Amino acid sequence: MMHKILRLPEVKNLTGLSRSSIYLRVSNGDFPKSISLGGRAVGWFEEDIQNWLEQKRKESQGEG
């Protein structure tokens, strides 16, 4: 199974969140954790970000 990794600029673009908001939400447990890509590079699984966005859409529409 192929997993696409998104880097921070792509995650910011998809979510509309700033870098600091993303990392604050990660530390609060309200955003998918990043994975280490080696060195200082990190990324997020695209599926995790898409699932998070869908959850937020449902919450905003009262679907819980």
Q: Where are the domains of the chain?
A: 5-60
Strands (E), the chain: 5-6, 35-38, 41-45
| Cβ-Cβ contacts under 8 Å for 8 (sequence gap 6 or more) | 19, 22, 42, 43
Contact 53, 10 (CB under 8 A): no
CATH of region 5-60: 1.10.238
- Residue 7 gets which letter from DSSP? P
pLDDT of res. 63: 79
Instruction: Please indicate, yes or no, whether the overall pTM of this predicted structure exceeds 0.85.
Output: yes
23 or 1: whose pLDDT is higher? 23
SS3 category, 10: helix
pLDDT, tens digit, for every residue of 22-41? 999 999 999 999 999 999 99
